[in-house]
Amino acid sequence: MQSKILGTGAAIPDGILTNQDIEKIIDTSDEWIRTRSGVVERHISDKDTPSSVLAKEAAEKAMEMAGISADQLDAILVASVTPDHSFPSTACILQDKLGARKITAFDLSAGCTGFIYGVAQADALIRSNNAKFVLVVGVEELTKVTDWTDRSSCFLFGDGAGAAILGPSEDDKSGILATYTASDGSLGGLLYQPAGGSSRPASHYSVDHHMSTILMRGNEVFKHAVRQMEEAALKALELSGVSKEELDWLIPHQANIRIIDFLARRLKLPLDQVVVSIDKHGNTSAASIPLAFDLAVRDGRIKRGQNVVMVAFGAGFTWGSVMIRW
Ligand code: UT7
């Protein structure tokens, strides 16, 4: 049995922070941010809107497109590094908010690759007959863990959620053709949140010393991202049997426009076959791929029968890919 994506949804907070706003916070320029990262503006949530609120909105839109109701869900997977709390999981909070049955619900932490990991798990649950309909959400409120004094990273991040409903494929024309996930924990220190977990519980010291926020060695991460995203994309082609020539769309993790350009060139895809939303959303980690995917599905760019590869890289390090025929 094959699984397929039956519906997508997205949610972004109303608040917008432009590069001109960032110029007032750190020593930078709109021009530098655009050319080095591709970000023009990012959405920012308020203190009364935790991740589960965005997740719920995205999930409801995805269920509507899929034509299923919350009580038909068999599992809820939420990928996030900015959940509402360490526990309970945002997936459980979402289960309650959606009014779903007492089903499997858990969070997974795979950084910016979280949505890819989630889709791979949902696909496995469906193919092994352990679930019929699975909700996968990638949601982040990175602006709440951004170090606004760090000029080398704070301009990158944004908030948002994207969701997908996976279910069994009733024909062999569309579905998940391949999934691939990988990790290398030895490089975790290049992109992490130093304090707030059991290795260094939150304290006045850790907050005062900017240890509860994102710490990224951008340049180093960049080099690994380029390499591993190419590997993941090629793996998806190999596992699915889809050739570069048969590829219609690339949906990359929206980390940096220069990484996206590089990957498109390696796949021999012109930029008009690449879904880019980093200019509007910034880097929304686990939400970035489902957000971009939902945009391109709803505006009609991605058409039935087309081959779409999604490729991500993130904290962990983790990386992975999903090939679908839409
Ligand atoms: O999502 C998970 C994976 N994440 C990624 O893949 C992110 C990967 N990293 C990146 O996207 C890039 O490393 C950044 C966009 C974060 C930074 O770009 P970069 O080209 O790697 O910049 P850099 O840190 O090497 O800095 C280059 C120069 C430095 O000046 P000098 O030493 O060359 O004179 C910095 O001081 O740019 C300077 N700089 C800035 N200038 C203006 C650093 N930050 C800024 C800034 N505004 N905000």
> Using one digit for the tens of pLDDT, what is the confidence trace for 69-79?
999 999 999 99
The answer to whether residue 288 scores a pLDDT higher than 80 is yes
| pLDDT category of residue 9 using cuts at 50, 70 and 90 | very high
Q: d(Cα 191, Cα 215) in Å, to the nearest integer? A: 6
What is the pLDDT at residue 120? 98
- Convert the pLDDT of each residue in 296-322 to its tens digit: 999 999 999 999 999 999 999 999 999
pTM of this structure: 0.97
- Residue 91 C-alpha to ligand 1 middle, in angstroms? 34
Residue carrying structure tokens 């980690």: 285
Label residue 170 by pLDDT band (50, 70, 90): confident
Kindly report the number of other CB atoms within 10 A of residue 285's CB atom.
33
- Any atom of ligand 1 within 6 Å of the Cβ of 214: no
Which ligand 1 atom sits closest to the C-alpha of 221? 8
The amino acid that residue 145 corresponds to is V
Q: What is the mean pLDDT of residues 1-22?
A: 97
Contacts of 189 (CB under 8 A, 6+ apart): none
Name the residue with the closest Cα to ligand 1, atom 41: 28
- Ligand 1 atom at shortest distance from the alpha carbon of 283: 1
28 lines ligand 1 (CB under 6 A): yes
Output the CA angle 126-11-18, nearest 5 degrees.
Answer: 140
Q: What digits encode the pLDDT tens for the residues 28-52?
A: 999 999 999 999 999 999 999 999 9
Q: Is 133 in the pocket of ligand 1 (CB under 6 A)?
A: no
User: Annotated active-site positions, please?
Assistant: 112, 253, 283
Residue 97 has pLDDT above 80, yes or no: yes
113 lines ligand 1 (CB under 6 A): no
CB 280 within 8 A of CB 293: no
Asked if residues 39 and 282 have their Cβ atoms less than 8 Å apart, the reply is yes
pLDDT at site 242? 96
Q: What mean pLDDT, rounded, does the chain reach?
A: 97
Give backbone dihedrals phi and psi of 226, rounded to 5 degrees, phi first: -60, -50
| Two structure tokens written together for 20 | 């001109």
